């Protein structure tokens, strides 16, 4: 499960380190508490095979998904299990044709505490990118409303936890290591090459710190909510 994350780098910094053309609204960067259903940045290949940084809604909605209300944009799963995504109708086309990366500077998981509220933890990963930026493996889809307007959406792939994540949760997002994003975005990559990217990120390059339960509410989207507890 990955149900909340942060992206604190600025738009142009994010685009530069992803070697992507910036097509996203800069106003949705600098987030400390990104949550499902929100519009957030993803990196994918454009029609010419070049990387572009665009925005999409978090919650995958394939073209065939029906909204609950006539004028509503449907929101589907926020996560996909990497072990079974290729066989599930919801994800199997996207994992073949519409893979994307989700830039983050950290993600949150909650640890169950006996007799008390769950404790949130912020996980960060060590990569070569500036500002602590790293990329989660994602899938994207396009849905059209009754007026034929396109709406792009995404989900984050999850995998078995490494030893750091396992202390808090039984799943973790698939993290693309330095140099792996090109293979992940490549529509001609073999299934074997793609599946080889889904192993847990090395535990020695990941850290977890407890943060305030203020992060539980998406409205608390500020640095103080994501600050480590003393």
130 confidence band (pLDDT: 50, 70, 90): low
SS3 of residue 81 by DSSP: strand
Residue 146 domain-assigned (yes or no): yes
- Global confidence as pTM: 0.95
**Segments in the chain forming alpha helices (H):** 11-18, 92-97, 181-185, 191-195
Residue 192 domain-assigned (yes or no): yes
Residue 229 domain-assigned (yes or no): no
25 confidence band (pLDDT: 50, 70, 90): confident
- Note the pLDDT of residue 49: 95
- Give the tens place of pLDDT for each residue, 69-124: 777 888 899 999 999 999 999 999 999 999 999 999 999 999 998 888 899 999 99
Residue 155 domain-assigned (yes or no): yes
pLDDT at 4 over 90: yes
137 confidence band (pLDDT: 50, 70, 90): very high
Residue 206 domain-assigned (yes or no): yes
Six token digits for residue 142: 């396009």
Q: Which residue has tokens 């507890």?
A: 229
Q: What residue numbers bound the domain in which 152 lies?
A: 5-216
Mean pLDDT of 194-211: 96
Mean pLDDT of the chain: 93
At 189, which CATH number?
Answer: 3.90.1680.10
- C-alpha–C-alpha distance, residues 54 and 49, integer Å: 14
Cβ–Cβ under 8 Å, residues 107 and 133 = no
Instruction: Decide which of 146 and 47 is more confident.
Output: 47
Cβ–Cβ under 8 Å, residues 60 and 88 = no
Structural domain tally of the chain?
A: 1
Single out the residue of 97, 2, 82 nearest to residue 40, CA to CA: 2
Residue 79 domain-assigned (yes or no): yes
């Amino acid at each position: 499960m990955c149900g909340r994350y942060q992206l604190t780098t600025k738009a142009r910094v994010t685009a530069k380190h992803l070697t992507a053309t910036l097509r996203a609204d800069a106003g949705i960067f600098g987030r400390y508490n990104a949550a499902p259903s929100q519009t957030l940045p993803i990196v994918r290949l454009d029609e010419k095979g070049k990387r572009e940084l665009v925005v999409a809604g978090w919650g995958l909605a394939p073209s065939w998904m029906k909204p609950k209300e006539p004028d509503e944009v449907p929101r589907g799963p926020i996560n996909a299990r990497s072990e079974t995504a290729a066989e599930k109708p919801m994800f199997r086309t996207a994992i073949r044709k519409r893979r994307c990366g989700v830039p983050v500077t950290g993600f949150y998981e909650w640890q169950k505490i006996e007799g008390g509220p769950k404790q949130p933890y912020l996980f960060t990963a060590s990569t070569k990118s500036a500002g602590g930026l790293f990329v989660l493996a994602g899938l994207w889809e396009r849905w059209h409303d009754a007026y034929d307007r396109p709406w792009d959406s995404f989900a984050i792939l999850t995998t078995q936890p490494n030893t750091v994540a396992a202390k808090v949760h039984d799943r973790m997002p698939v993290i693309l290591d330095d140099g792996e994003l090109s293979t992940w975005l490549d529509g001609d990559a073999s299934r074997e090459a793609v599946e080889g990217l889904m192993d847990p990120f090395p535990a020695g390059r990941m850290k977890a710190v407890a943060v305030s339960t203020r992060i539980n509410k998406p409205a608390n989207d500020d640095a103080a909510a994501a600050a480590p507890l003393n």
